[in-house]
Amino acid sequence: MWFRKNMKRPESLLRIAAGLAMAAVSLWWQGASPLGLALAAAGVGIGLTGAFGYCPACAMMGRQPTE
């Protein structure tokens, strides 16, 4: 791949769970409104960072890749 993981496994699993929970709760609470869809998209993005094990924001702050 063109990137190296910068998160460890427990953090990745927490991000996946938090992203799915954020997407589900935002759609349940806000429905298909623009705000609900935007929050659900943000939750999916958080879940994807966990699934790939790479967080671009963490990389910009100087977090080193894990081995």
Domain range summary for the chain, segments of one domain joined by +: 9-60
- Give the torsion through C-alpha atoms of 12, 41, 36, 15, to 10 deg: 0
Indicate if the pLDDT at residue 11 is higher than 70: yes
28 falls in which pLDDT band (50, 70, 90)?
very high
Candidates 24, 17, 19; CA nearest to 44 is 19
Query: What are the Cα distances from residue 24, in Å, to 1, 28, 33, 46, 48?
Result: 30, 6, 14, 13, 15
Instruction: Report if pTM > 0.85.
Output: no
Indicate if the pLDDT at residue 1 is higher than 60: no
48 falls in which pLDDT band (50, 70, 90)?
very high
Q: Check residue 34 and give its pLDDT.
A: 93
Q: What is the mean pLDDT of residues 33-56?
A: 92
